[in-house]
Structure 1
């Protein structure tokens, strides 16, 4: 049967729950009329398997025995509210016309049923006397009669000379399903779809106004929503998040699929085409593009306390730090990263001797370029081995924590430099400016990282691998669940004078007790992030550093630790973050042949609230307190407070 005719037949029967397709001989006599009578008996069954009352039809043919031609034809018997209709299709005449006895159908259905599809060369007229229960979502069930017989009379008149023309006329004039009438707001199909989408919580898959007001919905709009619902249910079943679907929902979904078969097929065709084009684009050369991003920070800061280690004098300051970043990709799987920066944070924001005289008081990213612009980072990274491994090459601005993930929830949020992440990742911060890195995703839950850093790698006398100061590090990160990540890192380094240069502890610890000899550094660090609740994250780190002179028996041992708690989306404001940090800055706990140990213990307390104005602007007020600065109980407590405003673009 040609698709347009079959589509029309299915459209006529789609609003009915009980349908029967009867395959009987259809007899046509040239230039004469044929009478065909059907009466209920035991022959052909209903296709609807949920119907317990199976009906059969006895075939009885009354014909003129002269010049007859027999051909197989399809008859669709459709129960209506107060009657029935018989749809007939002849492959010889290729003509179809339907005339229901019951004229009480809805307006749009009646018009379609009684409209002429071809020239009236062939006319099929049906008559019926029966009724059936028809259950349509959103409507009351129809009453079914007790009659067990259905009688039809079909009268056909065919002219052989016009069969060919009639076939062409039929093919040209039957409208495609996509051109049929829109779905009205009162139609059961739209009401059923809305009910199903609300029940499964996927109304966001449709435009907001589809189920609002009295507007009609095009068949393709309807098909898009239906397709989204079907895909969602299928995904839920595939992931075992949904075990079973209600039987009534299944019946309605099957009927809707049948009603919109053509639209769903066209939609799937478009999706397949887009996927094919996307795959083709991915295999073709990626267009070289450069994206500009940037960040500007305004810092309003003041400090109090600290009368021993420094002058203790401070006044409120307003500083800035600007970064412009150029991100260029040549293949879609690589990145050339260039960063330019300028800032004016004089005296490291109260950290120098003119103020509090301790690096423990350092504000986060307190950069000073005297308002001049410098190249601060130049890096090229690319992936290989099915994107499992990322290689990083950094001639300028290399840092250990660029490769070894700090695994800290407070990075980028904390106001203090110490509060961002462990000082172990900052070893050689101001010297080791060039390096290489490898990031290997062994599995989706396991990540292994390697880093190499060197000082003066551009000097031919030392080069990249013969520098007096270098660092080699590795870290294993494990994510056993989505809510928990832990890591263990090891760093082996060499320093010309034994200095660590972390800028996140006491001067005594950062210079390894001041023995000022070429030394080897061994460091180990552990981290964890644990999302206790969807909006609550617990973080922690702990590190140990051993510095051993290569020229004497001098050595120094230092430790650091911290615990943090972040609470997001407070007061119903999405994106806001409250942060609390407690820890011990890097402290020299013991050693040999050193000037002294840190006799007391400094503790770091920090509180901040990141207020997210929008996706591009955030305002972060807060403060941090350092007790016993420089791990010296003779020094007064230092308090640093301020407001940071960050602009991203």
Structure 2
């Protein structure tokens, strides 16, 4: 109830407290005179000697005094709160409060008159905003979905050197220059549609398009390790926009998170990504936390569950890269052991990919250990962008059991000390169906990534990484020939980049990289298994590019 209404009702209510026989001739006029004789209103409740904080109406009386200044006492400094109020006293109180309300109203009128033009302008703006908000609400894309996008332009080229020849005697550097030496301008576009129905869940749809298929940066050039992290082309062709990810993530209780999707990637189902080095880096090989076989970023139909508590987390997930195909394949079908056009979940041709990760990740550092099993015919296994040719051959033709160990640390404040990320991967490959030229093989990989925030200028970032893409360390062939000193497949990769943050939404990143021996043991015509020899011939790859990223 408004103050004015309260004051109007108060006399009537208080009047009921007066004796029924009371009338104007019986009232104590002297008491009213005493009440009004103070001459001025009190300014603080503490001026009343008989009012205490324990009184039930203490706060109400304090508000009337301090906010409206319309309460008076008796000349002796008392309020006499327990005394019955006469109608004359109520009238005196009401009159004092009405005088204060009238003063406030007159002041408001004066201010409204003085700022009449400004108020009119503000009213017009508010009306305009209301109209625009109404229009947006009527035409908005969705009340539950947010749309974000990332567009990336890449222009660059590669050069090649060395005196190594291939199997038929052609100089590798000349072949590489002829097939992958041209300057290219490619793009990648990702559109993220994030939907939440409860505020805690996430339905993510990713639409993607690109044209890296015929570029050396796409992984299918003469040197597969030239592949960039951002490179993409839809299998249906360049410039084709298609669903690249579609999964739903939701909490179970306070510690568990479940993820399920028809097109979900391995890392979408991990509670922690084990690196501080940016996923949006240059060479794709540095995207896998040092263990490309373990963190293979397999993509397909799958589900996962993760648990987090006090910086600890455990994640477990499974996906089938061929899960959308209902033809199981295998020895008991018309397709035999050919899985090119077969699939199904948990079948011989499922392309199974299972991962378990344990991590401890406080605010600015962390440790992680992961195990992954990848079956033969898996689209998520090693590809040309993260291993030597020989390592990729073995991995794509067998079942892999992989282990990855990772650690990372970031300084609390930007400075000359960089964030440090490191990782190591070990992979054991076995021939699952006794049809290959080898029985087993082992591969390894590692990397160290450094990143300086606010380098040279606030907002800019400097980074570099060095490591060895997946390379073969041992192999046992079908003819029982074992090569326990298989160290000739090694190759070192290095990248250096500087990101200029032009605006909050635009960055420009020049980068260079070097591959010391991208063909590994096949550099000079092959290893003993292929009738080749291990000479001292060399073949290397140097690349440079300019990457521009737009976020919207």
* TM-score, structure 2 normalization: 0.65
Aligned-partner SS, 2:471: strand
The answer to whether residue 244 in structure 2 is matched with residue 377 in structure 1 is yes
Q: 1:50 is matched with which residue?
A: none
The answer to whether residue 371 in structure 2 is matched with residue 487 in structure 1 is no
Residues 393 and 637 (structure 1 numbering): CA distance in 2 closer, same or farther, change over 3 Å? same
Report 1:601-612 matches (<5 A): 601-612=490-501
Contact 2:448 2:467 (C-alpha < 8 Å) held by counterparts: yes
Post-superposition shift, 1:392? 1.7
Aligned-partner SS, 1:607: strand
Matched pairs, number: 415
Q: 2:405 is matched with which residue?
A: 526
Instruction: Choose which of 351, 354, 362 in structure 1 pairs with 2:227.
Output: 362
Q: 2:188 is matched with which residue?
A: 321
Q: 1:207 is matched with which residue?
A: none
Instruction: Choose which of 535, 540, 544 in structure 2 pairs with 1:641.
Output: 544
Residues 170 and 544 (structure 1 numbering): CA distance in 2 closer, same or farther, change over 3 Å? same
The answer to whether residue 333 in structure 2 is matched with residue 444 in structure 1 is no
Aligned-partner SS, 2:287: coil
Instruction: Choose which of 572, 575, 580 in structure 1 pairs with 2:464.
Output: 580
Q: 2:152 is matched with which residue?
A: 297
Gaps of 5+ in 2: 5-26, 36-40, 58-64, 80-84, 109-141, 165-171, 329-343, 524-535
Aligned-partner SS, 1:464: coil
Contact 1:399 1:429 (C-alpha < 8 Å) held by counterparts: no
Q: 1:628 is matched with which residue?
A: 517
Report 1:36-51 matches (<5 A): none
Post-superposition shift, 1:407? 1.6
Q: 2:138 is matched with which residue?
A: none
Task: Give the Cα–Cα distance (whole angstroms) in 2 for the partners of residues 499 and 34 of structure 1.
Answer: 94
Q: 2:390 is matched with which residue?
A: 508
Residues 391 and 589 (structure 1 numbering): CA distance in 2 closer, same or farther, change over 3 Å? same
Instruction: Choose which of 162, 170, 184 in structure 1 pairs with 2:88.
Output: 162
Q: 1:473 is matched with which residue?
A: 355
Contact 1:477 1:487 (C-alpha < 8 Å) held by counterparts: yes
Post-superposition shift, 1:291? 1.7
Post-superposition shift, 1:605? 1.4
Residues 452 and 340 (structure 1 numbering): CA distance in 2 closer, same or farther, change over 3 Å? same
Residues 181 and 580 (structure 1 numbering): CA distance in 2 closer, same or farther, change over 3 Å? farther
The answer to whether residue 176 in structure 2 is matched with residue 312 in structure 1 is yes
Larger relative CO (CA 8 A, sep 6+): 1 or 2?
A: 2
Instruction: Choose which of 488, 496, 505 in structure 2 pairs with 1:616.
Output: 505
Instruction: Choose which of 387, 392, 402 in structure 1 pairs with 2:268.
Output: 402
Gaps of 5+ in 1: 5-28, 37-68, 70-74, 79-84, 95-111, 127-151, 183-286
Residues 639 and 166 (structure 1 numbering): CA distance in 2 closer, same or farther, change over 3 Å? same
Instruction: Choose which of 312, 323, 326 in structure 2 pairs with 1:457.
Output: 323
Task: Give the Cα–Cα distance (whole angstroms) in 2 for the partners of residues 426 and 456 of structure 1.
Answer: 18
Q: 1:254 is matched with which residue?
A: none
Contact 1:623 1:639 (C-alpha < 8 Å) held by counterparts: yes
Aligned-partner SS, 1:418: helix
Task: Give the Cα–Cα distance (whole angstroms) in 2 for the partners of residues 89 and 427 of structure 1.
Answer: 80
* TM-score, structure 1 normalization: 0.56
Report 1:76-475 matches (<5 A): 117=70, 162-174=88-100, 289-306=144-161, 308=164, 309=172, 311-313=175-177, 314-349=181-216, 357-369=222-234, 370-396=237-263, 398-404=264-270, 405-422=272-289, 424-425=291-292, 433-441=300-308, 443-462=309-328, 463-468=344-349, 469-475=351-357
Contact 1:306 1:312 (C-alpha < 8 Å) held by counterparts: no
Task: Give the Cα–Cα distance (whole angstroms) in 2 for the partners of residues 298 and 605 of structure 1.
Answer: 22
Task: Give the Cα–Cα distance (whole angstroms) in 1 for the partners of residues 78 and 504 of structure 2.
Answer: 72
Q: 2:133 is matched with which residue?
A: none
